[in-house]
Amino acid sequence: MKFLDNPPRFLFFTGKGGVGKTSIACATAMELAAEGLRVLLVSTDPASNLAQVFGIGIGNQITAVPEVAHLSALEIDPQAAAQAYRERIVGPVRGLLPEAVVKGIEEQLSGACTTEIAAFDEFTALLTDTALTAEFDHIVFDTAPTGHTIRMLQLPGAWSGFLESGKGDASCLGPLAGLEKQRTQYKAAVDALSDATKTRLVLVARAQTATLNEAARTHLELSEIGLTRQFLVVNAVFPGTETLGDPLAEAIFRREQGVLASLAPALRELHLDLIEVKPFNLVGIEALRHLLTRATLTQAPALLTPLLGDADQINGKQADNAALRQGSLSLTDALEGHRLSQLIDQIALDGHGLVMLMGKGGVGKTTLAAAVAVELAARGLAVHLSTSDPAGHLMETLHGTLEHLTVSRIDPHQVTEDYRAQVLASKGAKLDAAGRAVLEEDLRSPCTEEIAVFQAFSKVIREADKKFVVMDTAPTGHTLLLLDATGAYHRDIARQLGKGAHFSTPLLQLQDPRQTKVLIVTLAETTPVLEAANLQAELRRAGIEPWAWVINSSLAAAQVRAPLLLQRARTELPEINAVTTLHASRYALIPLLKDEPIGVDRLLKLVANLPSNPASP
């Protein structure tokens, strides 16, 4: 693997959600540790799943991985980091200032922006604190999905610039002194990220147009801030030797090869590695040891569940087949009466409302959001389709227009500029030159973006009392931060108005099942299902009850005959059972299709579950 040749001290793995960043980062860390090097593996994803991968508790402290010599791991926990950050700010004044003043400071520090900066303090410490990391030869970063990662990597420069000018009151973060202390640390982080002898950034993608387009954009954006030493890894490529006359397998192979042949010029300049799709789930240490090697159906037998003897069994044609039955579920039961079109029938009855699609990156939220919106619009209902994903690809997925459908994107850069202009025109109009200069400086704080995105999100979802608003959300971790901002705003309004006051906030709208339907999207794979279950628990803690689950791109729900696809389909069955019997009160199961569901016609076929190829049921 080219990206492992002479690796520097810091390696970053980033890319669109669901491309395999965590698996490749873990396998890389294990590979380096196997050479006797001391390695620290760090997750900066708010929805980290390192613990599931290794099967041990990790959390917000450096933890040795018992079964891998020389390897330790750390999950930066945004909430724990935020609590420690708040205590550093509030602790010294508690008991010295009036209680009301202390509570006011704590309230200022309760939002998503504080959470982001607190977690970021821990991240920059790993780049700069030699005492903290002296015992490690390499630090491998498994980052959040691309949009959040770009934000994270841009922050050292953004905060350094903000502190250099240093005149803002940084009201969303509390006392400016809390940031001043980090000035040297942020400057050192900028230097480390920009030094190709210290840092290597690995872009991870799949052989899919959307993920490679995002990799190209990421390459250019990160090059602009000095991260020029980049490598490209295309993960889970289907091998031509495994098609074996299976129409779906042949279609996957042809599609992926066509995408690879048309790589963007910016990506052609990078060192490229291809990793073939594996016939087993990449969970557990033994599986990860085989990720960076070529493991076929005849290799690593301990990782493979027994292949079913007949393709008809995996395709659900024998309703009483014990091999397909997990608990009370057979695949035939799972498919019957659980199509996406039936969920939309129920949604359409309301005539209007908010429909939010949430889940791990890479599970198909954008595609399904577009499919739901297109189907509702095709029924003559007014629909506003929007995305809060910093790396949203709605227009690429729609690839066309439809009557009754409007489309928007909450662009963080644009809404931030609009918000700054709005504040300067209102609050700034009443200030003198000196006061306006201070306000302008404060608005250059990176925290302004959090406020602007939240306001834009609130504005979009308010339309749901008149029409359908279908929201394609960012990957799980970033969505939880947005919900955190929603909760902070709600608490602030409640505190200001006092007990007994009647008011409406976005959080109340999300909590009302008459106004909002949350669809959790997952794949029939271990990690996406675990993350979706954790997301559901977080939503319930916020008083939001998910309405339905959607299991997307299932091989078990498609007609497959190639041994590699049969084995992959077999591994899905326990996950389908977990969703349908443990997690979801209602659900839809969508098969993997030969053609990517891009464009209005294919999106409508996806909803209706009409076969676009002989391989679909």
Domains of the chain plus CATH, in order, are: 2-295 (3.40.50.300), 331-411+442-608 (3.40.50.300)
Is-catalytic flag, 411? no
Q: Give the separation between CA 131 and CA 143, rounded to whole angstroms.
A: 23
Res. 317 pLDDT band, cuts 50 70 90: very low
Is-catalytic flag, 498? no
Question: Cα separations (Å) of 109 from 103, 407, 495, 498?
Answer: 10, 34, 15, 20
Res. 411 pLDDT band, cuts 50 70 90: confident
Res. 126 pLDDT band, cuts 50 70 90: confident
Residue with tokens 């230097």: 191
Average pLDDT score over the chain: 79
Residues 7-21, mean pLDDT to the nearest whole number: 88
> Is 310's pLDDT higher than 90?
no
Could you tell me the two tokens for 429? 């109009």
Could you tell me the two tokens for 322? 């014990």
Which carries the bigger pLDDT value, residue 488 or residue 382? 382
Could you tell me the two tokens for 136? 């490690």
Residues 528-539, mean pLDDT to the nearest whole number: 89
C-beta of residue 439 within 8 angstroms of C-beta of residue 419: no
In single-letter form, the type of residue at position 586 comes to R
Q: Give the separation between CA 241 and CA 95, rounded to whole angstroms.
A: 71
Residue 368: how many CB atoms within 10 A of its CB?
Answer: 26
Residue 262: its pLDDT value, please? Answer: 93
Residue 87: its pLDDT value, please? Answer: 80
> Is 135's pLDDT higher than 80?
yes
Residue 346: its pLDDT value, please? Answer: 96
Residue 520: its pLDDT value, please? Answer: 96
Question: Cα separations (Å) of 287 from 5, 142, 413?
Answer: 22, 18, 40
Q: Which one is catalytic: 16, 21, 187, 278?
A: 21
> Is 200's pLDDT higher than 70?
yes
- Strand 71-75 and strand 63-64: the pairing is antiparallel
**What percentage of the chain carries pLDDT values higher than 70?**
75
Residues 463-472, mean pLDDT to the nearest whole number: 93
Which carries the bigger pLDDT value, residue 563 or residue 399? 563
In single-letter form, the type of residue at position 176 comes to L
Could you tell me the two tokens for 279? 């016939």
Q: How far is CA 341 from the centre of its chain?
A: 26
315-324 own/partner pairs: CB under 8 Å, 24+ apart: 315/558, 315/559, 315/560, 315/617, 316/556, 316/557, 324/573
Instruction: Kindly tell me the sign of the dihedral angle through the C-alpha atoms of 110, 114, 118, 119.
Output: positive
> Of 75, 59, 79, whose CA–CA distance to 26 is shortest?
75
Instruction: Kindly tell me the sign of the dihedral angle through the C-alpha atoms of 228, 126, 287, 474.
Output: negative
Residues 303-319, mean pLDDT to the nearest whole number: 43
Q: Give the separation between CA 179 and CA 160, rounded to whole angstroms.
A: 10
Q: Give the separation between CA 290 and CA 465, rounded to whole angstroms.
A: 52
Res. 169 pLDDT band, cuts 50 70 90: very low
pLDDT tens digits along 372-401: 999 999 999 999 999 877 656 777 788 777
DSSP 274: E
Residue 392: its pLDDT value, please? Answer: 60
> Is 230's pLDDT higher than 70?
yes
Lowest mean pLDDT among 57-66, 163-172, 276-285: 163-172
Is-catalytic flag, 45? yes
Q: Which one is catalytic: 17, 45, 448, 517?
A: 45
Q: Which one is catalytic: 20, 111, 316, 359?
A: 20
Cβ-in-10-Å burial (0-12, 13-18, 19+) of 169 comes to middle
Longest dimension (CA), the chain: 80
Task: Pick from 120-124, 249-253, 432-436 the range whose average pLDDT is largest.
Answer: 249-253
Could you tell me the two tokens for 223? 């090059």
C-beta of residue 81 within 8 angstroms of C-beta of residue 126: no
Cβ-in-10-Å burial (0-12, 13-18, 19+) of 266 comes to middle
Could you tell me the two tokens for 501? 């006051």
Q: Which one is catalytic: 14, 15, 17, 22?
A: 22
C-beta of residue 317 within 8 angstroms of C-beta of residue 569: no
3-state class of 41 per DSSP? Answer: strand
Which carries the bigger pLDDT value, residue 551 or residue 155? 551
3-state class of 81 per DSSP? Answer: helix
Question: Cα separations (Å) of 304 from 279, 297, 525, 555?
Answer: 7, 8, 15, 16
Residue 509: its pLDDT value, please? Answer: 83
What are the phi and psi torsion angles at 520 (to 5°)? -90, 125
Q: Which one is catalytic: 14, 23, 43, 448?
A: 23
Residue 491: its pLDDT value, please? Answer: 61
Strand partners for 554: 591
Is-catalytic flag, 23? yes
Is-catalytic flag, 476? no
> Is 436's pLDDT higher than 70?
yes
What are the phi and psi torsion angles at 423 (to 5°)? -65, -40
| Close Cβ partners of 310 (under 8 Å, ≥ 6 residues apart) | none
C-beta of residue 434 within 8 angstroms of C-beta of residue 441: no
> Is 323's pLDDT higher than 60?
no
Res. 154 pLDDT band, cuts 50 70 90: low
Q: Which one is catalytic: 18, 178, 353, 361?
A: 18
Cβ-in-10-Å burial (0-12, 13-18, 19+) of 337 comes to exposed
Residues 152-159, mean pLDDT to the nearest whole number: 51
DSSP H or E stretch at residue 525? none
C-beta of residue 366 within 8 angstroms of C-beta of residue 409: no
Q: Give the separation between CA 67 and CA 538, rounded to whole angstroms.
A: 31
Residue 501: its pLDDT value, please? Answer: 54
What are the phi and psi torsion angles at 383 (to 5°)? -135, 135
